[in-house]
Amino acid sequence: MVCARLDHALVATEGQLAAVSPTLTHVAVIIPALNEAESLPYVLSDMPSVGAVFVVDNGSTDGTADISRSHGARVIFEPSKGYGNACKAGIKEAADSGFEVVVILDGDHSFNPQEMERLVTPILMDEADMVLGDRTQSAERGAITFPQRFGNMVATQLIHAASGFRYRDMGPFRAIRTSSLLNMQMRDPNYGWNVEMQLKAIRLGYRVIEIPVTCRNRVAGQSKISGSLRSALRCGLKMMWSTLRYAR
Ligand SMILES: Nc1nc2c(ncn2[C@@H]2O[C@H](COP(=O)(O)OP(=O)(O)OP(=O)(O)O)[C@@H](O)[C@H]2O)c(=O)[nH]1
Ligand SMILES: [Mg+2]
């Protein structure tokens, strides 16, 4: 069941309430999605009972928006292209709707949405401000390509050199307290987004935890980032440039 916090309190029966995790009702899930109509039904069907799901579309041409709505998500259209711009639009919506925690999740079903409670719980227990899903422990064969591994290694080493903090991964599946995220004043329009978030979290003294998550190959549809050498290299270079930029 996907519903807004207030609606949930008004419409749920006692039986339904018992079935709803008390933690995830405070959570807004943001899914940046570009032409993910084939895989989003899997993601949205596996979604646990959260406060709201916002699919942020940047001009998909394959019916992503209609598919998302028909599976209970709210669709936000962001005219400025880019992964980071999509995340920003989702965060604004989550903050305006009063959600305490934001989860960012890919729309290609490479992560298991059922694992998000493990990311969110330390934040709601006030043991962490940001929790990252660490793909390095249990990734399916082929799910993290060589350029991705290389890019991760370089970015984590550069962050370590710049800040002294050693991250294991730069994966996209992550949870963060909404107020902490707003405080970061995120800027990056595309693939420097994760680097910017991770560097700013250190600079702002946030408590960060990395928790192993399952990572598998995309279930369907076309890769936008690491599937081709060209886009993977472009993304890797952007990550490196962003590390130098945001480390200052
Ligand atoms: N709204 C929006 N979403 C994007 C954009 N670029 C990528 N995404 C989404 O970001 C998520 C990650 O992109 P993927 O194509 O899976 O990238 P990847 O994980 O490196 O590559 P795969 O090997 O295919 O899994 C997916 O949900 C994409 O649809 C964009 O410019 N705008
Ligand atoms: Mg993917």
Tens-place pLDDT, residues 117-144: 999 999 999 999 999 999 999 899 989 8
| Top mutation candidate among 83, 110, 230 for ligand 1, by most atoms within 8 Å of CB | 83
List C-alpha distances in Å: 98 to 91, 94, 102, 204: 11, 6, 10, 22
Region label for 11, one of left (φ > 0), alpha (ψ between -120 and 50) or beta (otherwise): alpha
pTM of the model: 0.89
Name the residue among 108, 137, 132 with its Cα closest to residue 119.
132
CB 217 within 8 A of CB 142: yes
Ligand nearest to the CA of 227: 1
Query: Rounded CA gap, 232 and 51, in Å?
Result: 33
Tally Cβ neighbours within 10 Å of residue 166.
Answer: 10
> What atom in ligand 1 is closest to the CA of residue 36?
29
* CATH superfamily, domain at 4-143+165-220: Spore Coat Polysaccharide Biosynthesis Protein SpsA; Chain A (3.90.550.10)
Q: How many A from CA of 39 to the centre of ligand 1? A: 11
**Confidence bin at 149 (pLDDT 50/70/90):** confident
Place of tokens 């910017």: 196
177 forms bridges with which residues in the sheet?
A: 101
> What atom in ligand 1 is closest to the CA of residue 235?
20
Averaged pLDDT of the chain: 88
N residues, the chain: 248
Instruction: Check residues 226 and 1 and name the one with the higher pLDDT.
Output: 226
For 34, counting Cβ atoms within 10 Å of its Cβ (0-12 exposed, 13-18 middle, 19+ buried), the class is buried
Tens-place pLDDT, residues 61-115: 999 999 999 999 999 999 999 999 999 999 999 999 999 999 999 999 999 999 9
Give the start-to-end residue ranges of the domains of the chain.
Answer: 4-143+165-220
Residues with CB under 6 A from ligand 1: 32-34, 36, 56-58, 81-83, 86, 106-108, 110, 218, 223-227
49 forms bridges with which residues in the sheet?
A: none
Q: Whose CA is nearest to atom 5 of ligand 1?
A: 83
Query: Rounded CA gap, 178 and 92, in Å?
Result: 10
Region label for 52, one of left (φ > 0), alpha (ψ between -120 and 50) or beta (otherwise): beta
Residue 21 has pLDDT above 70, yes or no: no
Q: How many A from CA of 33 to the centre of ligand 1? A: 6
132 forms bridges with which residues in the sheet?
A: 174, 210
Ligand nearest to the CA of 75: 1
